[in-house]
Structure 1
């Protein structure tokens, strides 16, 4: 077994392991917002590790370039989709996206008008 094969196996193991742990986390967590914390690494970190394995195995051939493009697309769209999912869950739960008064920090609450 060469160093290259060990690197490919390690990166694939890491990428698939991260994706598997994230899937279990999504399955176990009861709340939508908690599930989103596990969805993030599955769409950003795992594809980078798997892309690294493909690059080590194929170098910058057609398969390597395709893997890089897929990782870039997933890296850009993953956080945006996570944010959109959280926003949609908030709107479904409360009917709007604005923060509720009890969720505002004390220093951010509107102050009383100054006395004259």
Structure 2
């Protein structure tokens, strides 16, 4: 096995481990807000780890560029979508929260 292949497999394993751990933890908590917090490692850690593993495994090329672009989109939009979901859930729980008086 080559060094890039080994590094790729280690990064992929770490990304899968983060995803599985976050998923199991999200199943164990009851609060929506706690579940949203367990989504963060998937978008901020697992996505880049898996993307780096695929980029190293594939080498440089068009496919690697597309993979890195998707990882960048995930890293940028993941936290925004999590925050928007939390705000919407809070607003649904407290209907008068967003209204001016």
TM-score when normalising by structure 2: 0.89
Q: CA deviation at 1:54?
A: 1.2
Partner of 2:27: 27
Partner of 2:43: 43
Partner of 1:4: 4
Q: CA deviation at 1:97?
A: 4.0
Partner of 1:109: none
Q: CA deviation at 1:50?
A: 0.7
Within a 5 Å distance, the mapping from 1:90-109 to structure 2 comes to 90-97=90-97
Partner of 1:85: 85
CA gap of 1:96–1:45, structure 2 versus 1, over 3 A, is: farther
Deviation digits for residues 39-92 of structure 1, max 9, x if unmatched? Answer: 011112111001111111112212111110110110111000000011011111
Do residues 15 (structure 1) and 31 (structure 2) align? no
The Cα RMSD (Å) is 1.3
Does the aligned pair in 2 maintain the 1:87–1:97 contact within 8 Å?
no
Q: CA deviation at 1:2?
A: 1.8
Moved over 3 A (4+): none
More helix by share: 2
Which structure would you say has the larger Rg? 1
Q: CA deviation at 1:96?
A: 4.0
CA gap of 1:58–1:90, structure 2 versus 1, over 3 A, is: same
Q: Extract unaligned runs of 5+ from structure 1.
A: 99-116
Greater RCO structure (CA 8 Å; 6+ sep): 2
